[in-house]
Amino acid sequence: MHVSVHTRRKAVCTDAERRTMDRRQPADEASRGPKWRWHVTMEISERLLTPGEVALMFRVDPKTVTRWASAGRIGSIRTPGGHRRFRESEVSALLADLTVDASRSSA
């Protein structure tokens, strides 16, 4: 005698599968199946830095970098989780600008 038991498992997605789902374009309403949340993704070729990485470059505390972003002194991007990220080109430009200003002041 053969007895089969069917159980329903909760679907688990890896991060790579989730990113793939986020990029799919919605089909017409009837063929879509379950309702998915569609996220707008932006391809960024530029490296993004954490507040800690920026802080090391400027030799300040990461909290100072966060304060600069809040004050508008440096631009930041928010991740979906609410964390700040900074464009490497913008940080490098600000660092170069401050370095040039400091060398002019001491000369």
What confidence tens digit (pLDDT) does each residue in 29-67 have? 555 555 555 555 555 578 999 999 999 999 999 999 999
Domain count, the chain: 1
Could you tell me if 54 and 92 are in contact, meaning their C-beta atoms sit under 8 angstroms apart? Answer: no
| Domain membership flag for residue 4 | no
Assess whether pLDDT exceeds 90 at residue 26: no
| Domain membership flag for residue 13 | no
The CATH number of the domain holding residue 80 is 1.10.1660.10
User: Which residues make beta-bridge pairs with 9?
Assistant: none
| Domain membership flag for residue 3 | no
Assess whether pLDDT exceeds 90 at residue 9: no
Q: What Cα–Cα distance (Å) separates residue 93 from each residue in 1, 20, 86?
A: 75, 34, 12
Q: How many CA atoms, within 13 angstroms, populate the side-chain half-sphere of residue 34?
A: 4
Q: What is the domain range of residue 52?
A: 46-107
| Domain membership flag for residue 82 | yes
Angle in degrees, CA 59, 65, 71, rounded to 5: 140
| Domain membership flag for residue 69 | yes
